[in-house]
Amino acid sequence: MKSYTIDQICEALEGALIGYTNVLITAPEQLDSASRTEISFIGHKKYEKSWESSQACAAVVNNYISIEPGENKAFIKVNNADLAMSRILKMFAPSLPKFSFDIHPSAVLEGTAKIGNGTKIGAGCYIGPDVKIGENVTIYPNVTILDECSVGNNTIIWSGAVLRERCHIGNDCILHSNCTIGADGFGFRPDPKLGLVKIPQIGNVIIGNGVEIGANSCVDRGKFSATIIGDGCKIDNLVQIGHNSKLGRFCIMAGNSGLAGSVTLGNGVVIGGSASIKDHTTIGDGAIIGAGSGVTGDIPAGMTMLGYPAIEARDALRQWAILKRLVKESKK
């Protein structure tokens, strides 16, 4: 079990220590659930009152927090408590699942596959012909990587993930359980004789460096060329990315959101949970699409959109306020 003194944690965070505690800290925890051997955080002044009833012996706090920690308790003041807490979580994180073999005897590797130094491959995996796996890659049990795929250095692929043929994953990525990269795009056309005719999807998926894709999410292969996920994008669970979509760098897509085919996102776009984006739509750099919104047209850079169909946030809030007032008045 990991444990640290308050001095060790303060040094790791490069923060300023206010007060002191001689308690050995054993874990991070929320304010209202923490025990006397645990550290928490205060990221906003509205949580200052919660500190009075918290059992935590210490907290990471923003510089503007005005309260005192109390007897045998301590604060570590930092510029950003949320970011600092992420470093503490890493300090206390348990070890990842271990491998008895670098390459498990039950894994199937085709003879033309190339595996980099330090890579570990779990039980029941299949690595197809002409696959290239970089160095220090971790592939957990029951992963399938089909023909001519490539996986960059230090990437982690969790159990059940599938990489279809000719897809490419960058360095330092994380693919969570049961995500599917490179499934066929949803392409059908009606034919009076044959019914719905399947349109071949002959492209692939290219994923940049530092990308994380959540459990049960799907990134479809392109119809002609590639579906592209830019460096640093973070994709939540249960997200659908349609064929030939292109995401810039550092985009965020929250759970249950989806892009139809040929959607283009600029850099730093944020898509809220359960939002849906119409096909052939372009969303500019830094735009924010609120949860549950439906985008039906292009969105300029930096805009915040809400509602269905999505409109500028200020207008949406004004409309909702008017509707609420009308409903209230109609009941009089």
The answer to whether residue 243 is catalytic is yes
Tokens of 3: 């444990």
Is the dihedral angle over the CA atoms 67, 68, 71, 76 positive or is it negative? Answer: positive
Task: Work out the number of other CB atoms within 10 angstroms of the CB of residue 269.
Answer: 25
Pick from 259, 161, 104, 80: nearest CA to 169? 161
Alpha helix locations (H) across the chain?
6-13, 48-53, 81-92, 313-330
User: 3-state DSSP: the chain helix, strand, coil percent, rounded to 5?
Assistant: 15, 30, 55
Q: Which residue(s) pair with 207 in the sheet? A: 169, 229
d(CA 105, CA 97): 17
User: Is residue 185 within 8 Å of 207, Cβ to Cβ?
Assistant: no
Pick from 171, 271, 170, 262: nearest CA to 220? 262
Letter for the amino acid at 215?
A
User: Is residue 140 within 8 Å of 157, Cβ to Cβ?
Assistant: yes
User: Is residue 157 within 8 Å of 178, Cβ to Cβ?
Assistant: no
Pick from 229, 235, 158, 225: nearest CA to 185? 225
127: left (phi over 0), alpha (psi -120 to 50) or beta: beta
Active-site position among 104, 168, 176, 243: 243
Q: Which residues are catalytic, by number?
A: 243
